[in-house]
A and B are shown apart, each in its own frame.
Chain A
Amino acid sequence: MPVMNSPYNGRQPNEFKILTELEGVPNSRSLEVYKKYGGYAALEKVLKGGMSPDDVINLVKASGLRGRGGAGFPTGMKWGFVPKAPGEKYLITNFDEGEPGTYKDRYIAELNAHMLIEGKLIGAYAIGASKSYIYLRGEFYDEIAWCEKAIKEAYDAGYLGDNVMGTGFKHHMDVYIGAGAYICGEETGLISSLEGKKGQPKLKPPFPAVKGYLNKPTIVNNVETLAAVPWIIRNGPEAYKKFGTEKSAGTKLFNISGPVVRPGCYELPLGYPLKRFIYEDCGGLIGGKKLKAVIPGGASAPVLTADEIENITMDYEAFASAGTMLGSGAVIVIPEDVSMVHVLENLMHFFKDESCGQCTPCREGTGWLLKMSRDIVNGDGVPGDAEKIADVAGKMMGRTICTFSDAAAGPARSIPQKFAHEFVEFYKTKKNAVQAHG
Chain B
Amino acid sequence: METKVMASFFSSALNEKIKSFIGRYETKRSSILPVLHAVQDENDWISQEAVQALESEHGLSVVDVNEVLSFYTMYRKNPPKPYRLEVCGSISCWLHGADKTIAAAKAHIAEGEKNGNPVPFECHKVECLGVCGYAPVALVNKDRHLNVTPELAIKLISEYSKKELPAAAKKCASDLAARSAHQ
A residues with a Cβ closer than 8 A to B are 97-103, 106, 131, 137-142, 174, 176-182, 193-199, 213-214, 255-259, 263-265, 295, 299, 330, 332-335, 338, 343, 346-347, 349-350, 353-354, 436, 438
Neighbour of A139 across the interface among B36, B134, B139, CB < 8 A: B139
7 contacts between A and B (CB under 8 A): A101-B91, A103-B131, A131-B26, A196-B64, A264-B133, A299-B128, A347-B91
Neighbour of A180 across the interface among B31, B74, B92, CB < 8 A: B74
Please state if A197 and B130 are interface contacts (CB–CB under 8 Å). no
**Count of inter-chain pairs, beta carbons less than 8 A:** 140
A193 in contact with B91 given A139-B74, A350-B128 (CB within 8 Å): no
Neighbour of A257 across the interface among B30, B72, B132, CB < 8 A: B132
Which of B34, B71, B133, B139 has the most chain A CB atoms inside 10 A of its CB? B133
A330 in contact with B132 given A179-B33, A196-B32, A343-B91 (CB within 8 Å): yes
Which A residue's beta carbon lies closest to that of B37?
A: A177
What B residues does A97 contact at CB under 8 A? Answer: 130
Neighbour of A256 across the interface among B37, B91, B129, B133, CB < 8 A: B133
Which B residues between 129 and 167 are near A, CB-CB below 8 angstroms?
A: 129-135, 139, 142, 144
Which A residue's beta carbon lies closest to that of B71?
A: A198
A193 in contact with B33 given A182-B127, A299-B90 (CB within 8 Å): yes
A179 to B89, CA, bound (A): 18
What B residues does A333 contact at CB under 8 A? Answer: 95
Which A residue's beta carbon lies closest to that of B98?
A: A346
Which B residues between 80 and 133 are near A, CB-CB below 8 angstroms?
A: 89-92, 94-97, 99-100, 126-133
A98 in contact with B127 given A197-B67, A198-B67 (CB within 8 Å): yes
What B residues does A194 contact at CB under 8 A? Answer: 30
Please state if A255 and B90 are interface contacts (CB–CB under 8 Å). no
Neighbour of B95 across the interface among A141, A178, A334, CB < 8 A: A334
Please state if A438 and B24 are interface contacts (CB–CB under 8 Å). no
A106 in contact with B133 given A139-B74, A258-B92, A299-B90 (CB within 8 Å): no
Q: B73 interface residue, CB < 8 Å from A?
A: yes
Which B residue's beta carbon lies closest to that of A139?
A: B129
Please state if A179 and B97 are interface contacts (CB–CB under 8 Å). no
Please state if A195 and B68 are interface contacts (CB–CB under 8 Å). no
Neighbour of A199 across the interface among B30, B71, B127, CB < 8 A: B71
Which B residue's beta carbon lies closest to that of A347?
A: B91
Which A residue's beta carbon lies closest to that of B137?
A: A103
Q: B27 interface residue, CB < 8 Å from A?
A: yes
A98 in contact with B71 given A177-B34, A255-B133 (CB within 8 Å): no
Q: B171 interface residue, CB < 8 Å from A?
A: no
What is the CB-to-nearest-CB distance from A287 to chain B, in angstroms, rounded to a whole number? 13
What is the CB-to-nearest-CB distance from A88 to chain B, in angstroms, rounded to a whole number? 8
What is the CB-to-nearest-CB distance from B99 to chain A, in angstroms, rounded to a whole number? 7
A197 to B70, CA, bound (A): 11
Which 8 A-B pairs give the minimum distances between C-beta atoms? Answer: A179-B72, A257-B92, A180-B74, A263-B133, A196-B29, A180-B73, A257-B132, A100-B90
Please state if A350 and B127 are interface contacts (CB–CB under 8 Å). yes
Please state if A263 and B134 are interface contacts (CB–CB under 8 Å). yes
What A residues does B71 contact at CB under 8 A? Answer: 181, 198-199
Please state if A195 and B133 are interface contacts (CB–CB under 8 Å). no
What is the CB-to-nearest-CB distance from B48 to chain A, in angstroms, rounded to a whole number? 18
What B residues does A259 contact at CB under 8 A? Answer: 95-96
Please state if A257 and B26 are interface contacts (CB–CB under 8 Å). no
Please state if B72 and A140 are interface contacts (CB–CB under 8 Å). no
What A residues does B9 contact at CB under 8 A? Answer: none
Which B residue's beta carbon lies closest to that of A335?
A: B95
Q: B75 interface residue, CB < 8 Å from A?
A: yes
Please state if B128 and A98 are interface contacts (CB–CB under 8 Å). yes
Which B residues between 59 and 78 are near A, CB-CB below 8 angstroms?
A: 64, 67-68, 71-75
A346 in contact with B90 given A214-B27, A259-B95 (CB within 8 Å): yes
What B residues does A103 contact at CB under 8 A? Answer: 130-133
Please state if A178 and B73 are interface contacts (CB–CB under 8 Å). no
Other A-B contacts than A106-B130, A197-B64, A347-B91, 14 sampled, CB-CB below 8 A, are: A101-B92, A101-B132, A102-B132, A141-B144, A176-B25, A180-B73, A180-B126, A181-B72, A195-B30, A196-B25, A196-B32, A197-B29, A214-B27, A346-B91
A356 to B132, CA, bound (A): 23
A98 to B32, CA, bound (A): 22
A137 to B127, CA, bound (A): 12
What is the CB-to-nearest-CB distance from B158 to chain A, in angstroms, rounded to a whole number? 23
What B residues does A102 contact at CB under 8 A? Answer: 128, 130, 132
A138 in contact with B37 given A180-B74, A214-B26, A263-B133 (CB within 8 Å): yes
Please state if A179 and B36 are interface contacts (CB–CB under 8 Å). yes
Please state if B33 and A196 are interface contacts (CB–CB under 8 Å). yes
What B residues does A334 contact at CB under 8 A? Answer: 95
A295 in contact with B91 given A138-B74, A350-B128 (CB within 8 Å): yes
Which B residue's beta carbon lies closest to that of A342?
A: B94
What is the CB-to-nearest-CB distance from B6 to chain A, in angstroms, rounded to a whole number? 29
Please state if A255 and B91 are interface contacts (CB–CB under 8 Å). no
Please state if B127 and A100 are interface contacts (CB–CB under 8 Å). yes
Which A residue's beta carbon lies closest to that of B142?
A: A141
Which A residue's beta carbon lies closest to that of B35?
A: A196
Please state if B33 and A142 are interface contacts (CB–CB under 8 Å). no
A184 to B32, CA, bound (A): 15
Which of A180, A257, A353 has the most chain B CB atoms inside 10 A of its CB? A257
Please state if B132 and A196 are interface contacts (CB–CB under 8 Å). no
A213 to B90, CA, bound (A): 31
Which B residue's beta carbon lies closest to that of A354?
A: B127
